[in-house]
Every structure is written in structure tokens, then in C-alpha cells.
């Protein structure tokens, strides 16, 4: 099978996946805003109908599929190509040219870059670099390690370099190895299951070193209260509060930088549309620019917003993000709400520097109003 045909086939699968993702969101759009009692099976049934419809739609491309099917490469070659393609999707071709570097405070600098989910939905990506009080820095959700990014580490961390690399969930990890190689003394913190996910690539993704050693693995299904987080190390525990949402589909790690009351998180809460992360990108090349977003981006932005009508955002958090263990999820939210944060730095979308606590409570209003909350 020619590489061109294989890439076309890959794009077809990606389109189906993106439609299924949007369909899962659309499937909760018809749930009344009053949050009635509804079973997870009912949601899944609606979701599956959307997926089936998407597959039927794409099955009409049978002539293409017939031509491609007789040229299927070996399993190993297919896997290698897919790993490379996925890695390439996550890496801007010119990260130094599109990276936006911003000092949030004298102790915190963010590195913002373009990132499109499925190559279609503009959500942006953001790394947060934090000066630790004992020297060195913590790097939360690493992005491409450019010369400019390394300069930020030197400016904030001095001779201490990188003390900690945090994979904030099981999705944000593709650049861990690049940073770990450059800063071999850095301690990697990650959720349970990430090491196994990386090992499953069997070295076929050149950006993932399956031999990277994790210093601290956050444990799933702990019996301790959420207000008693797993201890990492004395210097980390002194600077950061931590809540680990192992029941979240992505297993989210949320930090509070205590010296400045700043909340740092990845996928627990988006703040779309993403503007800063595309500041150095030609708007005409974007699918999700606020004034010209396509349908998929408009739907996703409506769900992942933090202002205006938050019904869809609340449906997403209630029915999808927290459904596996809502009581425990709510307990984690209560811990975060008890923190005196004034700023929220998300990985996707805009940094929130005003009314952060009010915005947080608005997005998770159903959870705080729940009898489990």
C-alpha cells in the first residue's frame, strides 16, 4: 500500500473518530438543563446511535475502501506509521516560531502552542513552568523543548534546573522523554497507567522513551480522603497542593501553587475558544478561530466554555467527566474549592486571571449543588 493511500485511510478513520467525539457531546445536548435522573445506559445508547450513523455515512466511500483494502501494509508497518502520524499531529512543525511565552507572575511562565484535537478541533496546548521555593522548577505538561523554553528554565530555576516533570493526565505525556533527556535529574510525576500506556508503544514512537523512570506514580482508588493527597517529596509538598481525579476519563492531576495561590490543571476544565495559543498563527489557517469557527469547533467551544450559557459545560462534566464515581469527583472539587486560588492556568484555552473561583464554581455548579457534594 502506498504511503499516500495509507495516510488517506488514516484521515478517514480520524474523521470518524472526530464525528464520534462530537456525537458524544451532542448526545447530551438533548438532556434537559434541570439535570433529571438519567441512566448511563441511556446516554451510551444515544452515543452509540450517533457513532453508527457516522460509520454508515463514511461507508458510502466504498470505492475508496475497496481500492485501499488490497494494499494493506503489514501490521508492524501500520503501527509504526500510526505512531509517527499521531506524534506528528501533536508537534507543530515549527514550535519555536509559534510558541507564545508569557510571564503570569515573576515565578510562573507559560509556553502556549497550537494544538488541534483530531487535527480538527482547535484547543491549543500549554506548558506551565513554576519556580520552586527551594530552587529549580516544576514543569507541568511539557510541550516542545525549544531553546526559548530552555531559557525560561534557566531564568526561573537557575542551577537547580528542572526538579519535577508532571504528566498531568494519561494524554499529556508526548514530550516527557525530550525533557527527561535534557534534564536527567528531573523527577517524573504521572498518573497510574501512563507507564503501561507508554510501554505499549514498544518503542515505535520515537518521541516516547519507554525506559523513562517515573519518580512518583499517583495511585488509583485510594481509600484516603481526597484532602489527604499522596505525598510526593518534602519540597514538592511544601510548594504544591494536589488533587488526583483518578475517576476522570483522563485521570487528571490538579495542582495549587501555594506561594501565589494559582491553580494549574490540564483537562479538568477547558476555557475555549483558544486565543493566546494561536496568537502567532495566521487566523486564515485556523478551523476554530472565534469569528470563523467551523461546526465541530463551534460545538466543542460551546461545551468547553466558562462564561455565558454553561448548560452544555455542566452536562459534559456531570454526565461524562464525573459519571464513574461522582461522589469522589465531588469530594475532589470541594478540596479545590477550599483552596484560595485567584488564577487558573488550564492546558487548553485562556488563562483565567479574574474571578477564577467564581468561574470554577459556575462550571461545576451541578456538582456543588448535588447531595453528594
Distance, in Å, from the CA atom of 84 to the CA atom of 107, rounded to the nearest integer, reads: 35
Q: What pLDDT does residue 28 have?
A: 52
Which residue, chain included where needed, has cell 483565567? Answer: 352
116: left (phi over 0), alpha (psi -120 to 50) or beta: beta
Q: What pLDDT does residue 4 have?
A: 58
Q: Is 362 helix (H, G, I), strand (E, B) or coil?
A: helix
Q: What pLDDT does residue 117 have?
A: 83
**How confident is the prediction along the chain (373 residues), in pLDDT tens digits per residue?**
555 555 555 554 544 445 445 555 555 554 555 544 444 455 445 444 444 444 444 444 333 333 333 333 344 444 444 444 444 555 678 999 999 999 999 999 999 999 988 778 999 999 999 999 999 999 999 999 999 999 999 999 999 999 999 999 999 999 999 999 999 999 999 999 999 999 999 988 999 999 999 999 999 999 999 999 999 999 999 999 999 999 999 999 999 999 999 999 999 999 999 999 999 999 888 889 988 899 999 999 999 999 999 999 999 999 999 999 999 999 999 999 999 999 999 999 999 999 999 999 999 999 999 866 4
Which H or E run includes 245?
Answer: strand 240-245
Spacing of C-alpha 361 from chain mean position: 20
Instruction: Give the strands of the sheet with 262-265, arranged side by side.
Output: 240-245, 252-257, 262-265, 343-346
Q: Is 295 exposed, middle or buried (0-12, 13-18, 19+ CB in 10 A)?
A: exposed
Distance, in Å, from the CA atom of 203 to the CA atom of 149, rounded to the nearest integer, reads: 26
Q: Is 126 exposed, middle or buried (0-12, 13-18, 19+ CB in 10 A)?
A: buried
Which residue, chain included where needed, has cell 514498544? Answer: 202
Q: Is 313 exposed, middle or buried (0-12, 13-18, 19+ CB in 10 A)?
A: buried
Query: pTM for the full model?
Result: 0.81
State the pairing for strand pair 187-191/214-218: parallel
Amino acid at each position: 500500500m502506498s504511503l499516500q493511500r495509507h495516510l488517506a485511510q488514516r484521515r478517514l478513520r480520524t474523521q470518524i473518530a472526530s464525528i464520534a467525539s462530537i456525537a458524544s457531546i451532542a448526545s447530551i445536548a438533548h438532556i434537559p438543563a434541570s439535570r433529571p435522573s438519567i441512566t448511563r445506559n441511556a446516554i451510551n445508547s444515544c452515543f452509540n446511535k450517533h457513532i453508527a450513523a457516522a460509520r454508515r455515512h463514511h461507508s458510502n466511500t466504498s470505492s475508496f475502501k475497496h481500492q485501499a483494502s488490497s494494499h494493506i501494509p503489514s501490521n508492524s508497518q501500520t503501527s509504526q506509521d500510526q505512531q509517527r502520524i499521531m506524534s506528528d499531529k501533536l508537534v507543530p512543525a515549527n514550535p519555536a516560531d509559534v510558541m507564545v511565552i508569557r510571564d503570569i507572575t515573576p515565578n510562573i511562565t507559560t509556553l502556549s502552542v497550537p494544538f488541534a484535537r483530531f487535527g480538527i478541533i482547535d484547543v491549543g496546548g500549554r506548558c506551565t513552568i513554576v519556580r520552586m521555593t527551594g530552587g529549580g522548577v516544576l514543569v507541568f505538561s511539557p510541550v516542545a523543548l525549544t531553546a526559548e523554553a530552555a531559557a525560561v528554565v534557566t531564568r526561573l530555576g537557575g542551577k537547580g534546573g528542572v526538579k519535577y516533570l508532571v504528566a498531568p493526565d494519561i494524554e499529556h505525556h508526548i514530550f516527557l522523554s525530550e525533557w527527561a533527556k535534557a534534564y536527567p535529574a528531573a523527577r517524573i510525576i504521572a498518573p497510574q497507567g501512563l507507564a503501561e500506556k507508554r510501554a505499549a508503544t514498544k518503542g515505535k514512537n520515537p518521541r516516547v522513551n519507554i525506559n523513562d523512570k517515573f519518580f512518583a506514580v499517583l495511585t488509583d482508588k485510594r481509600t484516603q480522603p481526597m484532602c489527604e493527597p499522596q505525598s510526593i517529596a518534602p519540597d514538592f509538598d511544601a510548594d504544591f497542593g494536589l488533587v488526583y481525579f483518578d475517576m476522570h476519563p483522563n485521570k487528571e492531576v490538579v495542582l495549587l501553587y501555594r506561594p501565589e495561590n494559582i491553580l494549574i490543571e490540564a483537562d479538568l476544565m477547558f476555557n475555549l475558544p483558544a486565543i493566546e495559543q494561536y496568537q502567532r498563527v495566521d487566523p486564515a489557517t485556523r478551523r476554530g478561530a472565534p469569528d470563523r469557527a467551523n461546526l465541530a469547533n463551534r460545538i466543542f467551544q460551546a461545551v468547553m466554555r466558562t462564561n455565558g450559557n454553561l448548560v452544555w459545560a455542566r452536562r459534559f462534566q456531570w454526565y461524562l467527566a464525573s459519571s464513574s464515581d461522582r461522589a469522589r469527583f465531588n469530594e475532589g472539587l470541594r478540596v479545590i474549592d477550599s483552596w484560595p486560588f485567584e488564577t487558573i492556568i488550564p492546558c487548553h484555552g485562556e488563562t483565567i486571571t479574574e474571578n477564577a473561583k467564581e468561574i470554577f464554581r459556575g462550571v461545576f455548579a451541578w456538582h456543588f449543588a448535588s447531595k453528594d457534594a
